[in-house]
Amino acid sequence: MAKLKLVLYWAASCGGCDIATLAIGDKILKLAEVADILFWPIAMDFKYSDVEKMPDKSIDACLFNGAIRTSENEHIAHLLRAKSKIMIAYGSCSYEGGMPGLANFFNRRSIFDRAYIETQSTDNPKKVYPQPKVQVPEGELEIPEFYDTVKTLAQTVDVDYFVPGCPPEEKTTWLALEALITGKLPPKGTVISHSIKSVCDECPLIKEEKKIKTFYRTHQIIPDPKKCLLEQGLLCYGVATRGGCGALCPQAGMPCTGCYGPVEGVVDQGSHFLSALASIIDCDDPEEIQEIISNIVDPAGTFYRYSLPDSLLRRARIK
């Protein structure tokens, strides 16, 4: 049997997803037996021109991590889509926008002002901003254009499968790779994970009645390690997040942050956590309710931590 042809790419991401691919441990040897990796910028020295020379649909599958933030990200997404039979959005950034998607609370101008002018360690008296094209004695230099709004991979090209997680857990990665290796592929559009239910469904912490008078941030309390973190007032996102990770964070005393995306069938993960959270506030008095929610310091950033570009509103309005 001919070996499977794989490529891996990173767009706007931290590199964690590439490391997560290696976290499959000794299964990497099995992968090497059945698959050839033709392009993997973080690990192997290939050029974009090598990919451009490949015939269309000559790659079996592309694991694409990272959001679409620059013209380079967008260009390579289109290129790899054309060359690959199967396009997989791998990890939160590619699937939902992820952490880079939090930039959608701002726009290019405010991000550039912050990064190139205002930061305390920056000395830029002439207010020089990055330019896509610049003339130097040797000729014209070009860098990718920085877009105003971060997009998901599926908002840019046609995507066949999604692998959730920041980064995806080892077993989730293997589930996707195994499907590719064995050719037993799920229906197009499937979010590949061991669960379609919530993180709570697989979390062993003891759950009693959900009624909350005060919300806490993680540094403010030491939670009881046996009890549901949400019931103790921590903003544990498990109720609105797809399982499959094994509820690792809550079992380590850290609230779920929602990285596996929405449960099956849900659009706008953030609004569903918002709804669940607000419903269990144990108070009927409008003023006291305001006081209780004032303990949630950054609701939009908490609810859309990984999914702002994939949410219904996609970005903040900026006047």
Partner 1 sequence: MAEFEPKIIAFLCNWCSYAGADLAGTSRIQYAPNVRVIRVMCSGRVAPVFILKALQLGADGVLVLGCHPGDCHYVEGNYKTLRRMALLRKTLSQLGIEDERVHLDWVSASEGVRFASIVNNMTEKIRALGPLRPNHGEEKHG
Residues that bind partner 1 (CB under 8 A): 68-69, 71, 74, 105, 107-109, 147-151, 267-268, 270-272, 274-275, 277-279, 281, 283-284, 286, 289-290, 293, 296, 298-301, 303, 311-319
Q: Please state, as a whole number, how many other Cβ atoms lie within 10 Å of the Cβ of residue 106.
A: 17
SS3 212: strand
Cα separation, 64 vs 174, whole angstroms: 15
Cα separation, 191 vs 71, whole angstroms: 26
Sheet arrangement for strand 35-39: 35-39, 4-10, 59-65, 84-90, 161-163
Toward partner 1, which CB reaches closer, 18 or 74?
A: 74
Cα separation, 18 vs 98, whole angstroms: 15
State in angstroms the smallest separation of the CB of 210 from partner 1. Answer: 13
Toward partner 1, which CB reaches closer, 89 or 205?
A: 89
State in angstroms the smallest separation of the CB of 77 from partner 1. Answer: 12
Toward partner 1, which CB reaches closer, 83 or 272?
A: 272
Alpha-carbon radius of gyration of the chain: 22
State in angstroms the smallest separation of the CB of 73 from partner 1. Answer: 9
State in angstroms the smallest separation of the CB of 114 from partner 1. Answer: 15
Tally of helices (H runs) and strands (E runs) in the chain:
12, 9
State in angstroms the smallest separation of the CB of 184 from partner 1. Answer: 34
Toward partner 1, which CB reaches closer, 151 or 242?
A: 151
Backbone torsions φ then ψ of 198, nearest 5 degrees: -85, 165
Toward partner 1, which CB reaches closer, 20 or 263?
A: 263
DSSP 8-state assignment for residue 114: I
* Helix%, strand%, coil% for the chain, nearest 5: 35, 20, 50
State in angstroms the smallest separation of the CB of 305 from partner 1. Answer: 12
State in angstroms the smallest separation of the CB of 78 from partner 1. Answer: 14
Helix (H) or strand (E) holding 18: helix 16-22
Toward partner 1, which CB reaches closer, 206 or 318?
A: 318
Toward partner 1, which CB reaches closer, 34 or 266?
A: 266
Concatenating the DSSP letter of every residue in 196-228 gives SSBHHHH--SB-----BS--B-TTT----TTB-
> Is residue 24 within 8 Å of residue 79, measured between CB atoms?
no
